[in-house]
Amino acid sequence: MRKKLWCPKIIDTIAGKAKITVILPALNEEKTIGKIVQQIKKYAAEVIVVDDGSSDKTAEKALEQGARVFSHLKNKGYIAALKTGFVNAKGDIIVVMDADGQHDPADVPRLVKPIVDDKADLVIGARERLSSFSENVITKLTRFKVDTWDACSGFKALTRDVAKRMQIRGKCTCGTFILEAHKLGARIMDVKVKNKPRRFGKSRMKKEHIIQLFLVLKELLI
């Protein structure tokens, strides 16, 4: 059995210092979204689900568990969903998680602690192992500017100020998100997290990586 990362007293202290919003961009995640929202509510004051044109009951399942839901009438992509979440977030600290169950909500306190302690403006939930060759290449390129173990993690926490200033360029957030935050002067650090295998469906991000490689190179050169 996995040990609890924080005792309730510490969680309450963090929540008392900063309001935390967790954003879940979601596309056809009805099988996982309800349980994830329910778990996240233990660690965040606000949960936002951005339903990016789902054809299933993703929005309904999220609403049932008390999430704020913003729906795109048609699929606009991960970046557009993230921007919708950032615009509507009320928290002092914003956490982004995948909606497919790969990330553990119990890691949220560990992720936000460096920001609460004023040691970082962006914290990456770095996985022990990257899932593809393209992720390894993008991460190695990103390291020319930022010392990070995982430039493609979908699990991250950042200050409201940095989030509101970001334009979020790219086909996905791999590499470009960290590099843009770096250009804005954000202090960036990693926190190691465990990543669970995706249980339902396939990842929709890997197909974006060919274009993303060129965008990362462009970010490094300008």
Residue 147 carries which side chain, given as an amino acid letter? D
Burial 16-25 (b: 16+ CB within 10 A, else e): eeebbbbbbb
Instruction: Give the mean pLDDT of 34-50.
Output: 97
195 Cβ contact partners less than 8 Å away, ≥ 6 residues apart? 102, 103, 127, 128, 129, 155
50 neighbors 72 (Cβ within 8 angstroms): yes
Mean pLDDT, the chain, whole residue set: 89
Domains of the chain and any CATH numbers: 18-221 (3.90.550.10)
8, pLDDT greater than 70: no
Confidence tier at 185 by pLDDT (50, 70, 90)? very high
Q: How far apart are CA 85 and CA 70, in angstroms?
A: 8
Cα–Cα–Cα angle for 214, 216, 217, nearest 5°? 65
**Element of type H or E holding 50:** strand 46-52
What's the pLDDT score for residue 4? 32
pTM value is 0.88
- Percent of the chain residues topping a pLDDT of 70: 87
Confidence tier at 150 by pLDDT (50, 70, 90)? very high
Looking at per-residue pLDDT, the higher value among 215 and 199 belongs to: 215
Confidence tier at 208 by pLDDT (50, 70, 90)? confident
End-to-end CA distance of the chain: 48
169 neighbors 176 (Cβ within 8 angstroms): yes
Closest Cα partner for 22 from 66, 55, 54, 56? 66
Q: How far apart are CA 147 and CA 151, in angstroms?
A: 9
Give burial (CB, 10 Å; 0-12/13-18/19+) of 45.
Answer: middle
7, pLDDT greater than 50: no
Question: What is the distance of C-alpha 147 from the center of its chain?
Answer: 19
Q: How far apart are CA 161 and CA 37, in angstroms?
A: 24
What's the pLDDT score for residue 111? 97
85 neighbors 16 (Cβ within 8 angstroms): no
207, pLDDT greater than 70: no
